[in-house]
Structure 1
């Protein structure tokens, strides 16, 4: 048997791959494989699986996992796993970790015998085996020490690779290898010496001496130390050697524009471009930088060019290719080639062909070590002929759209700056003192600029010389979406002009009336934040496949960006431009049409999601006269797909709802949305505040619904209000529904209202009336032989009996609810009934029984079984109550804290409720939990 675990987890026996279920079995087998042939006690497995606090059933779970593992392996013909007396041993197993260690030892043996050429490929193979997150397929935490060992081994191998390259005389490659090692270990004398020796071998002693000075300065600044003796001796030898001279050839251009005054937040990208320029594998060294207008491409290119200028003694040439310069035509390849040749003092003939210019360009640069900065390219065709040929020259190319340059060794796409970096940039322009004095305004401006460096630079520059009053006024102006783009301009620099250049490029390429331009306009009027190909198709009345192609074009032109699989969004400033561009006379009509299409799309979408999630209602939902109809082809194969769509689209649904909330024709869909919201939230982690809004939309339209959906929307409204701590507001709604149900069939609704009313009164501490209604509901449910209604009536009865101080009666009714749940055949009702019983037992003093039930509920028989978010929080709180009853206050508090963390992460409770529980040693449950657990 072979266990693969370094970069992924896989088990093979012979030619057969073995699948292991769950998350724990792979970890256990990996641990045993690492200790192959040695005894491993259960206690060590326990500490690996539960490093903080193991459950009481830990050893039983481990025994079950080992038994299942042994069965799986034996069925595949492997009998090397044995367990006895809580000791287990795995024999006859090999691992990729063991193979790696064996190969490393073999390579080092070859090096010790001066056979560096043979050792090199083996070392490179070993280093390539170790990813950035070793053991990541197992969850790194239980294997942290092994992961750290492998990362340290990879660093050592990188140094040994560079050493072998040096010994083999492959100095250029040795420089690249040693440079990477040095950049990640700048304080290491070993790494510095290796890099300096490689540079000396490559005849670049000046750079080697510079590296020593950098190392010396860093050691002094950070550690207060001098370089070690070996490094100082190497430095002395380099000073005594006569460094080869790099005499410039012909004219030496120094054309770089001034370096950006402020450069923050792009250090990783700058390091990547710098490394790309220094790569020497016999091919042109090209770094391509792409991103939307104003994202900082030119600033990055110039920063790197200035930093690396010393490595290119034969000149630095800068050309603005004017690919997206407003009012200017892009520079042709022929014009650009003439400019470069003239920069090096080479004359050109007026009628010289493009091919001839390109040949001369490559010839002139063949023996030079020069740097070209090709800024603001329009497309690949414009720059393809401007790439140096063989030799040691390099190029940095910037463009809005990603370039398909086969010569580009590095392609970087820039994203907006994160909040901390954006704040640093604003502060750098405004000045630290002024930024601190206007911190609220700075935060507001950062949000308005959306991380776009051009917008941040304009805002910071305008504020630098402004008075306090003008800064506050400017911040308020940026808060206004209608005025924001106009405000973000300074002299001849403007964000709007930068965005317009991309849009005009799109319109020039596809036509002003093209589908892609029309989609851009419609998306600008869409009130949601994200959109998919289905949304886009609905907005222009096209199928999703066609819309997906159009979205790819918009992404290619940097007007939208992808944020997930088939999910896109605008940068906020681009969205404002998209909504503003176009003939003003038809704006209102276009907006109404876009909203109408969005309404139809989401109306169909929520009905299809509901029909998938609640199959029993599918026929009614799809055949109802109220079913909205359009060309949307959205369908869901699995319930999880429907829930995932609903969760991701909920914010958009709310946005569309608020934009068209006075349209009665949507009532049917709002009812479905609200029913979905209560049915699958919070198990799928949605925001309850959004659900409240949707419930309100539907409740206000209930007069347009069928009898059944009118009852359901009242239940949704009741649930929403009870879980917000407002049960008294539910009574008029329930009275209205009860009166309606009394006059119509089926009679089951009358029992349902008794249950809902009992729960409401219980939440108001009117336990006597709640108990009476529950008893009445139990009797009527049994007459109807309806196990589900009987179950809920017994649950409400148990809760209200407890409120009356009838502990034994509460436990008895809870036990009866479990019987009714089993009769219904619904496993989730059985779990709910057991949870109800466990709470009653804990409060009746039977805490050990309660603890065992909650332990069992939190450790389902199926290890892959998922517990819904809200149920997990309830079970954890119940376990906390049981542990508190047993005097285990610390363990109880840990469960309470874990429960509220689950609820807070899902957006079910507010931060204030989370902190209230955390700061109280014997906390009361938040409102949501208090109403849910009775």
Structure 2
């Protein structure tokens, strides 16, 4: 059993199936117990956390019914009755919060002597956060109070990550290592929507598939898993995070280039998943087919049509080639999205796909150096 608290509250069974724990009050009862696994919680404390200091009439009976509903769904023996209350009889590792807290503690212990191992440990548990913690709960003291506590834990992890990345980045600079990530410095919103490759001097074009998702709650179909290990990539990760943190005034365009097999896509996908929550209208992923020996790259028009479909434009309303550029940029302007353009070929293909106003951003990967000379 896997209890998720760091996002939408839900329970997964041993086979990964989602168990039917969906009613807001039932989720709140589960969360109240799961926040302290193995610890007895008295009925009075549970009632106060669910309804406040003055619970409504019949609160004890309602609480019993919620516990009964949980017992009917969770594995036998998971919830035990103890004198005066209840206990969720699972280990901390049975919850995403327990795994996150354990990873954070291990990272803090490793930080002084083994910063790279500490960062790797921390990076492994940060994706456990899939959104605002305790989503799906009703408005109650438990949700409001615990969210504040959990956000402090999240901030503590982010501070540690920043310290580790800064230290490792300085070490990389001292050793003369060159990072494969370059940040596109242009103010893209000052360019016309159909700016050409010479004006942008970087990128790739053409898309095999496009998918939109409302991050960060679920995997994006077609999106690579991004599960690769990152060794000596702390500096690159840190720079990408900084560049994509505030795009309110102007869109960020980040370029990742290098030879085949160095992990460009893995790096881009990792960052896109991690920062997806900063782009509330979703993540658009497109494989530009620049590394596909069997298929030619798609045209910019084909790419735009796939992206428009990913944004929900019905097929019968799909514009023709001449109008697709204007429609595409009109749709992008209405949204705050992160566009991941993978396996780019050249600037002329990617330029028509770049966000042109603040609020959105693009990550672009390609084999060839994506920033033009002069």
Tell me the TM-score normalised to structure 1 length: 0.22
Partner of 2:369: none
Q: Describe the shift of the 1:172–1:129 C-alpha distance in structure 2 as closer, same or farther (beyond 3 A).
A: farther
- Shift of the alpha carbon at 1:553? 6.6
Q: Describe the shift of the 1:48–1:111 C-alpha distance in structure 2 as closer, same or farther (beyond 3 A).
A: same
3-state SS, counterpart of residue 138 of structure 1 = coil
Q: Describe the shift of the 1:552–1:47 C-alpha distance in structure 2 as closer, same or farther (beyond 3 A).
A: farther
The 5-angstrom pairing of residues 132-171 of structure 1 reads 133-138=132-137, 142-170=142-170
Aligned residues: 232
Partner of 1:48: 49
The 5-angstrom pairing of residues 388-427 of structure 1 reads 407=255
The 5-angstrom pairing of residues 119-518 of structure 1 reads 119-130=118-129, 133-138=132-137, 142-170=142-170, 281-286=180-185, 289=188, 297=189, 375-379=190-194, 382-387=195-200, 407=255
Partner of 2:233: none
Separation in 2, partners of 1:125, 1:288:
34
* CA displacement 1:255-302 (0-9 Å, x = unmatched): xxxxxxxxxxxxxxxxxxxxxxxxx7533424564xxxxxxx5xxxxx
Q: Describe the shift of the 1:163–1:140 C-alpha distance in structure 2 as closer, same or farther (beyond 3 A).
A: farther
* CA displacement 1:624-643 (0-9 Å, x = unmatched): xxxxxxxxxxxxxxxxxxxx
Separation in 2, partners of 1:157, 1:50:
31
3-state SS, counterpart of residue 82 of structure 1 = strand
Q: Describe the shift of the 1:164–1:3 C-alpha distance in structure 2 as closer, same or farther (beyond 3 A).
A: same
3-state SS, counterpart of residue 12 of structure 2 = strand
Q: Quote the RMSD (CA, aligned, Å).
A: 4.4
**Higher relative contact order, structure no. (Cα contacts within 8 Å, ≥ 6 residues apart):** 2
* CA displacement 1:68-87 (0-9 Å, x = unmatched): 211222xxx43121236651
3-state SS, counterpart of residue 101 of structure 2 = helix
Partner of 1:29: 30
- Shift of the alpha carbon at 1:22? 1.4
* CA displacement 1:426-474 (0-9 Å, x = unmatched): xxxxxxxxxxxxxxxxxxxxxxxxxxxxxxxxxxxxxxxxxxxxxxxxx
Partner of 2:317: 547
Partner of 2:80: 82
Separation in 2, partners of 1:547, 1:167:
52
Equivalent residues of 1:5, 1:95 under 8 A apart: yes
3-state SS, counterpart of residue 38 of structure 1 = coil
3-state SS, counterpart of residue 196 of structure 2 = helix
The 5-angstrom pairing of residues 33-112 of structure 1 reads 33-51=34-52, 53-73=54-74, 77-83=75-81, 86-93=84-91, 94-112=94-112
Equivalent residues of 2:8, 2:131 under 8 A apart: no
3-state SS, counterpart of residue 11 of structure 1 = strand
- Shift of the alpha carbon at 1:3? 0.9
Equivalent residues of 2:40, 2:82 under 8 A apart: no
Q: Describe the shift of the 1:116–1:403 C-alpha distance in structure 2 as closer, same or farther (beyond 3 A).
A: closer
* CA displacement 1:54-105 (0-9 Å, x = unmatched): 32121111111111211222xxx43121236651111124211111111111
Relative to its length, the structure with more helix (as a share) is 1
The 5-angstrom pairing of residues 792-803 of structure 1 reads none
- Shift of the alpha carbon at 1:119? 1.0
Separation in 1, partners of 2:324, 2:38:
55
Separation in 2, partners of 1:554, 1:386:
19
Equivalent residues of 1:37, 1:91 under 8 A apart: yes
Q: Describe the shift of the 1:95–1:283 C-alpha distance in structure 2 as closer, same or farther (beyond 3 A).
A: same
Q: Describe the shift of the 1:558–1:161 C-alpha distance in structure 2 as closer, same or farther (beyond 3 A).
A: closer
* CA displacement 1:216-237 (0-9 Å, x = unmatched): xxxxxxxxxxxxxxxxxxxxxx
3-state SS, counterpart of residue 87 of structure 2 = strand
Partner of 1:556: 328
3-state SS, counterpart of residue 181 of structure 2 = coil
Q: Which has the larger radius of gyration?
A: 1
Tell me the TM-score normalised to structure 2 length: 0.50
* CA displacement 1:179-222 (0-9 Å, x = unmatched): xxxxxxxxxxxxxxxxxxxxxx899xxxxxxxxxxxxxxxxxxx
Structure 2: give runs of 5+ residues left out of the alignment: 204-238, 240-249, 257-267, 273-277, 280-300, 302-311, 336-374
Equivalent residues of 1:120, 1:165 under 8 A apart: yes
Separation in 2, partners of 1:25, 1:150:
20
